[in-house]
């Protein structure tokens, strides 16, 4: 309401001013007081009244600024006097959402960077690598904060003076009556109250919509009386941000486009975790997660706001000049937010690292979790059924890495207990042995609902521990209502209690929005009461944190936990993977899933996937295929289906569909080292795996609105088939009807692009290209200048079976005949990469016709890397016809015969034939005449060096960089 009026009106009505006399700074922290002020140009003055007050707003607030490395600014605003104990999530989440240790490792002294200039103070600092200079201008009156990065003004805080803290404390006593409230309201004073004046200026129809259909001033008494009746202290707050870009992203989770739209003609974006089954496509309704992160992208900079409030929050986005005006409103708590920005090269990636510095870096997942997961909610399950599914995948020769067990594995939905009828001890032992021998893994579901059952050991133990003191720590297990009675809700187990441990929004079936009451009470370890409305959106985060550390404790810190959650908040990437919940088996969901995952990735949540081929619905064979093809490029690949959706097993599909599924998983296996290296980069640099085009091409305006293709890391561009195929008739010994897929594809002109399957160099054109694909074909492009480690997996049926098989290096040259790529290795399971420096991180580079490798981390070494061999090196896009090669290191062994060297001629006059280089079983001699179509006047050649036996890392650290091969 305030945001609307202040945007529409030229009047300010009220604002806050920083009292310069209260400024105090120490270390990296600056403190001051903000005071409420009325707009004296609008409000007529009366000597006997203090017009710089309002009964609606907090009069005095504390302002805290903290300046960290690389220009990170933290801002905290709270009441100074009446309600100083407002909730702040970062004070209660045990460092789950903010990693204070990372922030505090390089703090700036305010005294070293501060300048005072009349009505403002200026904080100036520079990034550690000196590529970004930061200037924060804190203007006293009206209060503003301006962020300036490398000379660009990126964000202005409180540009429209919407900073506002509700103050209804006086009217929240339960003994207040309608008459006593009316007596408390002094209409003479109200006439000089700036906020009352603003409300009076509202059109009657709008005011009645907000406060009720009442005349004159009785609306105010009625409004206050309703507050008393609700018996809850209203303490909402608001703050606006002017952002100098029209391209805004973030605010997950919703099934909406990546690029955020305007809310001028709609409700603001709501951030409040709820369980929606199933969620609808292209809808801005908030879903299972709420991350109040807003990123602006511009050709010259990236900047972001991290709004750290876990209560219900609304975000308005309006047009404003060449940018956007946004307003955040949260129901309760304090204001706490971070400002970050970069205007250097690769500014999106630099911003991602700043996000990770604040909220934590992506956990490095176990290697097997990057494979294919199969899950199905069924009416009944058993150890024999799980074993049968495993055997059927083997018989159909469809790769599989993880089997999941849903609700039916439990004893009457009592989690942590197997159903003893279908999971006898002997059957479980045989099942576990089979899965282990198949080199696969099992995952079990746990929801946050504890069945109210006097014979259930978890319920019994929880009651025994309730409200006890243990070594000075307050123990409280189950969530309470406002009368301190244990809440009993309804979910899968029936009547359920709740702990911090899929349905973790948290979901409660028998409530208006299917989630927990805002009046519920939590207790922290000190016995302090916390209202659920304050922390609702962080419930799933805290469940993930508790589960993560519980698993660490169980496994004695030896094995990396793997956890999947449906609900996330800032910081969840440190503990769990995430899936997008109850999606539909529709063609629209293909595109929706891409937008959802790219949005989550920008907020730091990288390990994410959507249920394949949609959780609910009956997909056609065609949709089945398209979902698996796209899903093989999700960071997290899992098939899952609803109870009523029968016949979802891949091995039950027709022959063509099975082949598409198998080929899709095997292509994922091709890139498994590339995936794992990307996850390592996410864990150290904060970059997402799945990226919008503008993330890699930040100055390419055409890329800003493209949302139906994406980058996987920096080197792979994937263009999925998202629509039904079209029937096309061909004349070939009669009429033949063929289904083809018309796909729009944009390949940024800044780079060369190669088709991964047939190695074609693609058209050098900045226009949208039209691809015509068949059902089994995929549009996978490799960026020129990349070196990709490809797993020679021999069609093995799980990642754990193939991980020691050789790799081949595929070198895709750019226009300057150069390329580089990375390879990260560790045991894929333990923490020895951290505790014992057992990892190898290698950079391969090709330039001046020479391939080299460089050990990036010379203080670490993965011992088993000596067993991993490079068996083949392929170079694509050579501008000369190679005749031979020289070995430049004694670590490279080859069989000395003519079959080692292959080369192909690529020229724009030739059409490629039926054969493709992807067929590993054909020798070069059989495809001597294989030709590839080029798209420019230059000639290109391909060289393949086979039968190599090159150790990836022999452990020697005497020489950091080595030359491997020189092409002649």
Tell me the C-alpha distance between 551 and 366, whole Å: 14
Task: Name the nearest CA neighbour of 14 among 238, 198, 231.
Answer: 198
Return all residues near 142 (Cβ < 8 A) that are at least 6 apart: 12, 15, 16, 17, 37, 158, 161
CB-based contact 967:892 (threshold 8 Å):
no
Query: How many Å apart are CA 857 and CA 69, to the nearest integer?
Result: 24
Q: Of the residues 275, 302, 336, 582, which is catalytic?
A: 582
Identify the active-site residue in 79, 505, 611, 622. Answer: 505
Clarify whether 582 is annotated catalytic.
yes
Q: Is the peptide bond before 541 cis (omega within 30 degrees of 0)?
A: no
151, 145 in Cβ contact below 8 A? Answer: no
Q: Helix (H, G, I), strand (E, B), or coil: what is residue 869? A: strand
Cα separation, 310 vs 277, in Å, equals 23
Q: Token digits for 725?
A: 């195929």
- Here the tokens at position 302 are 């990236």
**Sequence-ordered alpha helix ranges (H) in 737-862:** 799-802, 832-835
Measured distance CA(150)–CA(171) in Å, rounded: 48
* Token representation of residue 612: 């394949």
Choice among 166, 502, 708, 751 that is catalytic: 502
Tokens at 350, concatenated? 């630099």
The C-alpha atoms of residue 124 and residue 562 are separated, in whole angstroms, by 42
The Cα–Cα gap between 832 and 855 comes to 19
Closest CA to 519 of 279, 232, 862: 232
Torsion angle, alpha carbons of 683, 684, 688, 694, to 10: 180
346: annotated active-site residue? no
Which DSSP state fits 804? T
Cα gap 475→469, rounded to integer Å: 6
Start-end of H helices in 171-286: 178-184, 187-190, 194-200, 204-211, 218-230
Count CA atoms within 13 Å of residue 857 on its CB side: 18
Q: Is 201 a catalytic residue?
A: no
Nearest Cα residue to 200 out of 186, 185, 215? 215
Which residue intervals of 749-836 are DSSP H helices?
799-802, 832-835
What does the angle CA 819 – CA 823 – CA 824 come to, to the nearest 5 degrees? Answer: 155
Kindly list the catalytic residues: 502, 505, 582
């Amino acid at each position: 309401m305030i945001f609307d009026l202040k945007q529409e009106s030229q009047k300010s009505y009220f604002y806050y001013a920083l009292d310069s006399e209260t400024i105090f700074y120490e270390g990296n922290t600056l403190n001051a007081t903000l005071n409420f002020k009325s707009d004296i140009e609008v409000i007529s003055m009366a000597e006997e009244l203090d017009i710089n007050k309002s009964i609606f707003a907090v009069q005095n607030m504390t302002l805290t600024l903290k300046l960290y490395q690389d220009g990170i600014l933290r801002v905290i605003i709270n009441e100074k006097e009446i309600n100083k104990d407002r909730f702040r999530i970062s004070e209660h989440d045990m460092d789950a959402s903010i990693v204070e240790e990372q922030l505090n490792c390089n703090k700036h002294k305010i005294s070293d960077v501060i300048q005072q200039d009349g009505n403002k103070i200026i904080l100036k600092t520079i990034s550690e690598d000196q590529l970004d200079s930061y200037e924060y201008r804190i203007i006293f009156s009206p209060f503003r904060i301006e962020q300036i990065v490398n000379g660009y003004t990126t964000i202005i805080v409180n540009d429209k003076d919407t900073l506002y803290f509700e103050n209804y404390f006086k009217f929240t006593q339960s003994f207040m009556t309608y008459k006593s409230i009316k007596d408390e309201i002094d209409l003479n004073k109200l006439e000089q109250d700036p906020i009352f004046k603003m409300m009076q200026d509202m059109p009657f129809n709008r005011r009645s919509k907000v406060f009720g259909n009442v005349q004159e001033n009785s609306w105010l008494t009625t409004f206050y009386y309703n507050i008393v009746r609700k018996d809850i202290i209203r303490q909402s707050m608001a703050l606006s941000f002017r952002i100098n870009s029209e391209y805004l992203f973030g605010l997950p989770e919703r099934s909406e486009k990546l690029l955020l739209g305007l809310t001028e003609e709609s409700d603001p974006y709501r951030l409040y975790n709820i369980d929606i089954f199933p969620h609808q496509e292209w809808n801005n309704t908030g879903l299972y997660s709420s991350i109040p992160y807003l990123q602006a992208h511009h050709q010259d900079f990236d900047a972001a706001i991290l709004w750290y409030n876990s209560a219900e929050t609304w975000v308005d986005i309006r047009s404003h000049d060449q940018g956007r005006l946004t307003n955040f409103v949260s129901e309760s708590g304090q204001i706490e937010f971070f400002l970050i920005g970069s205007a250097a090269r690769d500014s999106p990636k630099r911003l991602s690292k700043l996000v990770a510095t604040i909220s934590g870096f992506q956990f490095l997942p176990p290697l097997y979790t990057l494979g294919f997961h199969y899950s199905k909610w069924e009416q009944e399950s058993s150890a024999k059924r799980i074993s049968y599914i495993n055997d059927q995948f083997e018989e159909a020769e469809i790769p599989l890495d993880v089997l999941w067990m849903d609700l039916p594995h439990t004893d009457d939905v009592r989690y942590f207990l197997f159903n003893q009828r279908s999971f006898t001890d002997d059957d479980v032992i045989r099942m576990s042995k089979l899965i282990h021998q198949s080199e696969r893994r099992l995952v079990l579901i746990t929801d946050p609902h504890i069945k109210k059952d006097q014979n259930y050991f978890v319920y019994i133990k929880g009651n025994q521990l309730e409200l006890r003191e243990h070594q000075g720590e307050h123990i409280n297990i189950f969530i309470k209502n406002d009368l301190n009675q244990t809440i009993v809700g309804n979910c899968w187990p029936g009547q359920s209690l709740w702990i911090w441990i899929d349905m973790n929004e948290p979901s409660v079936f028998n409530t208006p929005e299917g989630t927990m009451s805002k009046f519920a009470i939590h207790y922290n370890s000190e016995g302090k009461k916390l209202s659920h409305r304050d922390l609702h959106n962080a419930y799933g985060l805290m469940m993930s944190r508790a589960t993560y550390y519980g698993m660490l404790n169980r496994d004695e810190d030896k094995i990396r936990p793997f956890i999947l959650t449906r609900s996330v908040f800032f910081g969840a990437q440190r503990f769990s993977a995430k899936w997008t919940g109850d999606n539909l088996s529709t063609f629209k969901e293909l595109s929706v899933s891409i937008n959802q995952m790219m949005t989550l990735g920008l907020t730091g949540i990288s390990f994410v996937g959507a249920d394949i081929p949609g959780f609910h619905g009956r997909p056609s064979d065609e949709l089945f295929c398209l979902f698996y093809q796209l899903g093989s490029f999700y960071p997290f690949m899992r098939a899952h289906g609803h109870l009523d959706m029968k016949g979802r097993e891949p091995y039950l599909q027709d022959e063509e569909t099975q082949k598409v599924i198998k080929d899709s998983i095997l292509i994922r296996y091709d890139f498994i080292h590339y995936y794992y290296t990307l996850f390592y980069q996410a864990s150290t640099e904060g970059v997402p795996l799945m990226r919008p085009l503008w993330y890699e091409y930040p100055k390419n305006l055409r890329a800003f609105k493209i949302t139906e293709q994406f980058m996987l890391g920096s080197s792979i561009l994937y263009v999925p088939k998202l629509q039904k195929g079209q029937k096309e008739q061909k004349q070939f010994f009669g009429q033949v009807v063929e289904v083809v897929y018309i796909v729009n594809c944009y390949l940024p002109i800044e780079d060369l692009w190669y088709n991964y399957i047939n190695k074609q160099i693609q058209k050098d054109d900045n226009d949208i290209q039209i691809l015509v694909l068949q059902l089994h074909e995929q549009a996978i492009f490799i960026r020129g200048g990349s070196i990709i480690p490809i797993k020679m997996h021999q069609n093995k049926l799980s990642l754990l079976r193939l991980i020691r098989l050789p790799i081949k290096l595929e070198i895709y040259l750019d226009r300057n005949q150069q390329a580089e790529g990375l390879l990260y290795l560790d045991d894929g399971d333990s923490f020895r990469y951290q505790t014992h420096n057992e990892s190898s991180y290698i950079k391969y580079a090709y330039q001046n016709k020479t391939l080299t490798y460089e050990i990036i981390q010379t203080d670490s070494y993965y011992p088993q890397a000596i067993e991993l061999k490079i068996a083949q090196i392929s170079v694509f896009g050579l501008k000369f016809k190679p005749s031979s090669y020289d070995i430049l290191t004694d670590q490279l062994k080859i069989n000395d015969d003519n079959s080692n060297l292959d080369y192909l001629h690529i020229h724009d006059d030739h059409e490629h034939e039926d054969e493709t280089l992807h067929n590993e079983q054909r020798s070069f001699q059989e495809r001597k005449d294989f030709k590839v179509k080029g798209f420019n006047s230059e000639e290109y050649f391909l060289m393949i060096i086979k039968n190599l036996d090159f150790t990836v890392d022999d452990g020697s650290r005497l020489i950091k960089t080595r030359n491997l091969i020189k092409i002649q």
